[in-house]
Amino acid sequence: MTEENTQDESKLIAERRRKLDELREGSSAYPNDFRRNATADELHKTFHGHDDETLREENIEVAVVGRMMVKRVMGKASFIKLQDRSGQIQIRLERDRLPEGDYQTFKKWDVGDIVSAKGALFRTKTGELTVMADEVRLITKSLRPLPEKFHGLADQETRYRQRYVDLIMNEGSARVFRIRSAVVAYIRAFLDAQDYLEVETPMMQTTPGGAIARPFTTHHNALDMSLFLRIAPELNLKRLVVGGFERVYEINRNFRNEGVSTQHNPEFTMLELYRAYADYEDLMDMVEALLHGMADSILGSNIVSYQGEEFDFGSTYARMTVEEVIRHFNPDIDASRLRDREYLAGVCEQLGVPVKDSYGAGKLQIEIFEKTGESKLRQPTFVTQYPTEVSPLSRCNDDDPFLTDRFEFFIAGREIANGFSELNDPEEQAERFRAQVANRDAGDDEAMGFDHDYIRALEYGMPPTAGIGVGIDRLVMLLTDSPSIRDVLLFPHMRPEVFD
């Protein structure tokens, strides 16, 4: 905003504050005794087929309230449009119809004010459903002017910082968050119908675990102890499986102390679930069924458009192993040496991928996969058989211990879900925890700690189980054609704003 615009805005705010002072002198400046009997959308839907003659004959009295988004003053009569949670409804105000003096008072009100109106419905000559006001009232005075309607709120940083203004001005933004809510509601209904139990687990943990990531650290003053914001609820949810909750899920907030990008926010939302007596293939089938129904139910189509591409959510999703993906996108690679560490290190060097001494063949495979294949997986695809080295909580494949029974699900070149058959052997899990601790001691700040209580829980016996995490934010990005994760978070993480 230029200095001139800042000065103009300051003058407008000062004028609105003067009007508020006048309100305080007369009566309550912020009344809370008005009750509507209909929203804008309800009126448009209910009376869609009613012409003006029918409306006037039926004399339908309504009480509406909303933010004044349009104000057109025309002498003895004016039109305004009120915006509520569902949409906009037009109001006609006539000087001779309103109580004495109310019309002159109304003319002092500003766009952005919250206004109520009572009156009967009719249609204008252009056919627009309108309330003929017998009574109007200022409910809340807006002290700051809204952005010009023509220009809207276009600056991205301002949209993220002042989401409240973004939601007022941009119907597209409001639609994104309605869809987000519908996605979460659909997931809950889908899982509840399959007898899953929704639970809540702690966000503060004494030992970070459940994923390979750098945690946020905090401190509990009363107990004088360090705690970690959870990077995943996985270990607690599997404790519940041990306890007999055979189908359990949580729609949870996770925190990972990592960089910010169009796909990453330090705080994000996941669906995480566990199902006893199932394996990773069962969960791939479940994800496919979930998304088939979700897109059609929420968007009315299984064809989802995202950033100029179309994705078929209703198809049968492709399934490829990690090694198949590497071979497919690297036709010159020697397929017989995909587990040869020195060979893979050389391939990484050619690709410009840094290699640490601690990296084994499995880790190097994933480095190559992420560098050359991941972004090219456009249509819905399950990638399976991840190396054990990078899957510390996954069950090893019975026929090939180099691999685990694990999958990741990709659409538009990005990971949407991660699932696997769970490791339920307490001794093997303890050994993998020890390996993670060694990695952390060697400088890997994303490695897990050793969770002694989780090992104790496994020693009581966890049934064969499969689990999955689904990224809600990235899924909503796809369904709303949003290019950045910040577009689907009501309040994305940003650097502190500097106030004068």
| Domain boundaries, given as residue ranges, for the chain | 3-146, 169-317+379-488
Q: What is the predicted pLDDT for the residue at 435?
A: 87
Question: Percent of the chain scored above 70 by pLDDT?
Answer: 97
Q: What is the reported pLDDT for 29?
A: 85
Residue 249 in this model has a pLDDT that exceeds 90: yes
User: 267 pLDDT exceeds 60?
Assistant: yes
Distances from the Cα of 442 to the Cαs of 26, 357, 391, in angstroms?
71, 10, 18
> Residues 135-142: what's their mean pLDDT?
96
pLDDT 10s digits, 361-380: 999 999 999 999 999 999 99
Q: How far is it, in rounded angstroms, from Cα 116 to Cα 487?
A: 32
Q: What is the mean pLDDT of residues 181-190?
A: 98
At 235, the pLDDT band (50, 70, 90 cuts) reads very high
Contact 424, 396 (CB under 8 A): no
Q: Residue 128 — very low, low, confident or very high, per pLDDT cuts 50/70/90?
A: very high
pLDDT band at residue 259 under the 50/70/90 scheme: confident
Q: What is the mean pLDDT of residues 385-410?
A: 94
Each residue of 42-89: pLDDT tens digit? 999 999 999 999 999 999 999 999 999 999 999 899 999 999 999 999
Range 205-217 average pLDDT: 83
Q: What is the mean pLDDT of residues 458-474?
A: 97
For residue 83, report the phi and psi dihedrals to the nearest 5 degrees: -110, 120
Topology given in CATH for the domain delimited by 169-317+379-488: BirA Bifunctional Protein; domain 2 (3.30.930)
Buried b (16+ CB within 10 A) or exposed e, 312-348: ebbeebeebebbebbbebbeebeeeebbebebbbebb
CATH of 3-146, one of 2.40.50.140, 1.10.8.80, 3.30.70.1560, 3.40.640.10: 2.40.50.140
Taking 60 as the threshold, does the pLDDT of residue 151 lie above it? Answer: no
Tens digit of each residue's pLDDT (9 = 90 or more) over 152-180: 566 888 899 999 999 999 999 999 999 99
pLDDT at residue 500 in the model: 67
Confidence at residue 261, expressed as pLDDT on a 0 to 100 scale: 84
C-alpha distance from residue 71 to each of 95, 308, 311, 431 (Å): 15, 38, 43, 70
The pTM (predicted TM-score) of the whole model is 0.90
Min mean pLDDT across 275-289, 365-379, 385-399, 459-473 is at 385-399
